[in-house]
């Protein structure tokens, strides 16, 4: 391929800029012309497509967000939207596209592939919920941000002898809650992949208080329910102690990416270009057991589901007695 494009789509994640930079720089290194597409699939359909140079991605590796902007664009789920996007790509003589994004973005890339247009997906989402990879770009930064918040909440929880229910993001996945929960020494982690018993949780927290425990932290994945609803359930189950709620929200998606996310993003970006260079499209790149992998994007999305590491759940249960 001689001319390719890159876009970021869906919820942004720290490290998307580093991934786009790697796509741009590796393309130029390989003698491939590289174009950017603003606002994800919305920009593709609107023809918001422009050439990128070496300097276009200077001073970007350390920045959060995405300089290519992002959008949620449900219209791309229709064949009409997909064909309109392909028409624009062909107008610019683009032969392949790198899509950096999460679940919805991957489905867009899969549809492009089904229409015969080579697309490669780079997993970029804080949720860590993409099949075909152990980690997504942005997850490490997001859990570090959430962990920092948990450490701060522990301080104030201790001072006031309070319980905090802390809601973290993750869409339908519990990975952010699991990793943050284990790393912060949370008393309990509530995730969509594991059921919970509110009476047992209340009994456990109460037992902690009776032992003289000053702080209680419960990390709740948003995919289960909202933190206010969970706190109400605790009260309804007879929990009478001082209880506060904290919803971390979009703060988890901003800021400078960690070293791990920058390196992962750089590796993914360069790898995607290597694949397109040899004419390979229709792939989802990922990292498995620390090795870069590429798998058929249609097969990956159709037959595989991301699985949370439930050994972390069990570990936390054992350590937070
Ligand atoms: O997919 C990333 C994510 O941050 C999810 O964790 C969250 O549920 C969702 O996006 C929030 O979406 P929006 O930014 O559109 O409110």
Give me ligand 1 centre to Cα 90, in Å: 31
Residue 239 structure tokens: 């929990």
Q: Does ligand 1 come within 6 angstroms of the Cβ of 127?
A: yes
Q: Does ligand 1 come within 6 angstroms of the Cβ of 102?
A: yes
Q: Does ligand 1 come within 6 angstroms of the Cβ of 171?
A: yes
Nearest to 77 by CA among 128, 126, 40: 40
The CA distance from 122 to 187, in Å, is: 35
Give me ligand 1 centre to Cα 2, in Å: 35
pLDDT of residue 36: 98
Q: Which atom of ligand 1 is nearest to the CA of 222?
A: 8
Report yes or no on whether pTM surpasses 0.85. yes
Q: Looking at 12, 103, 127, 175, which residue is catalytic?
A: 127
- For the chain, where are the E strands, in sequence order? 3-9, 33-37, 49-51, 96-101, 119-123, 163-168, 188-190, 216-221, 243-247, 283-288, 291-296
Bridge-based pairing state of the strands 119-123 and 283-288:
parallel
Task: Count how many residues are written for the chain.
Answer: 321
The best mutation among 72, 101, 105, 127 to test binding of ligand 1, ranked by most ligand atoms within 8 Å of the C-beta, falls on 127
Bridge-based pairing state of the strands 33-37 and 49-51:
antiparallel
Give me ligand 1 centre to Cα 171, in Å: 6
Of all protein residues, the one whose alpha carbon is nearest to atom 14 of ligand 1 is 11
Q: Which atom of ligand 1 is nearest to the CA of 223?
A: 8
- Contacts by 230-237, CB closer than 8 A, 24 or more apart: 230/165, 230/167, 230/190, 231/165, 233/198, 234/165, 234/198, 234/201, 234/202, 234/205, 236/198, 237/198, 237/199, 237/201, 237/202
Per-residue pLDDT tens digits of the chain, which is 321 residues long: 899 999 999 999 999 999 999 999 999 999 999 999 999 999 999 999 999 999 999 999 999 999 999 999 999 999 999 999 999 999 999 999 999 999 999 999 999 999 999 999 999 999 999 999 999 999 999 999 999 999 999 999 999 999 999 999 999 999 999 999 999 999 999 999 999 999 999 999 999 999 999 999 999 999 999 999 999 999 999 999 999 999 999 999 999 999 999 999 999 999 999 999 999 999 999 999 999 999 999 999 999 999 999 999 999 999 998
The CA distance from 262 to 248, in Å, is: 23
pLDDT of residue 35: 98
Residue 280 structure tokens: 């390979």
Give me ligand 1 centre to Cα 11, in Å: 5
Give me ligand 1 centre to Cα 161, in Å: 32
Residue 84 CA to its chain's centroid (Å)? 27
127 among known catalytic residues: yes
pLDDT of residue 321: 81
The CA distance from 10 to 129, in Å, is: 13
The best mutation among 8, 9, 11 to test binding of ligand 1, ranked by most ligand atoms within 8 Å of the C-beta, falls on 11
Domains, the chain, with CATH or none: 3-138+257-303 (3.40.50.450), 140-253 (3.40.50.460)
pLDDT of residue 178: 98
Strand partners, 29: none
In three state form, how does the secondary structure of 251-310 look?
HHHCCCCCHHHHHHHHHHHHHHHHHHHCCCCCEEEEEECCEEEEEEHHHHHHHCCCCCCH
Of all protein residues, the one whose alpha carbon is nearest to atom 11 of ligand 1 is 11
């Amino acid at each position: 391929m001689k001319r390719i494009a890159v876009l970021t789509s869906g919820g942004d994640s720290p490290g998307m800029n580093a991934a786009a930079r790697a796509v741009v720089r590796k393309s130029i290194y390989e003698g491939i012309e590289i174009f950017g597409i603003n606002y994800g699939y919305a920009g593709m359909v609107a023809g918001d497509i422009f050439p990128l140079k070496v300097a276009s991605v200077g001073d970007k590796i350390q920045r959060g967000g995405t300089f290519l902007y992002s959008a949620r664009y449900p219209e791309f789920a229709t064949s009409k939207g997909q064909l309109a996007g392909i028409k624009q790509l062909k107008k610019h003589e683009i032969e392949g596209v790198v899509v950096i994004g999460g679940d919805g973005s991957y489905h867009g890339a899969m549809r492009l592939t089904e229409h015969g247009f080579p697309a490669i997906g780079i997993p970029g989402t804080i949720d860590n919920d993409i099949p075909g990879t152990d980690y997504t770009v942005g997850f490490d930064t997001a859990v570090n941000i959430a962990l920092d918040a948990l450490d701060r909440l522990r301080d104030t929880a201790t001072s006031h002898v309070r319980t905090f229910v802390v809601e973290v993001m993750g869409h339908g996945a519990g990975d952010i809650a699991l990793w943050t929960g284990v790393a912060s020494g949370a008393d309990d982690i509530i995730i969509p992949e594991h059921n919970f018993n509110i009476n047992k949780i209340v009994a456990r927290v109460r037992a902690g208080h009776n032992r003289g425990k000053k702080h209680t932290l419960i990390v709740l994945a948003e995919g289960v329910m909202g933190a206010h609803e969970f706190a109400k359930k605790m009260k309804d189950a007879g929990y009478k102690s001082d209880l506060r709620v904290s919803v971390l929200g979009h703060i988890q998606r901003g800021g400078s990416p960690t070293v791990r996310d920058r390196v992962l993003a750089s590796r993914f970006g360069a790898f995607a270009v290597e694949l397109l260079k040899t004419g390979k499209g229709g792939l989802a790149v990922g990292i498995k057991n620390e090795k870069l992998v590429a798998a058929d994007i249609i097969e990956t999305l159709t037959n595989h589901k991301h699985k949370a590491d439930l050994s972390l759940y069990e570990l936390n249960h054992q350590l937070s007695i």
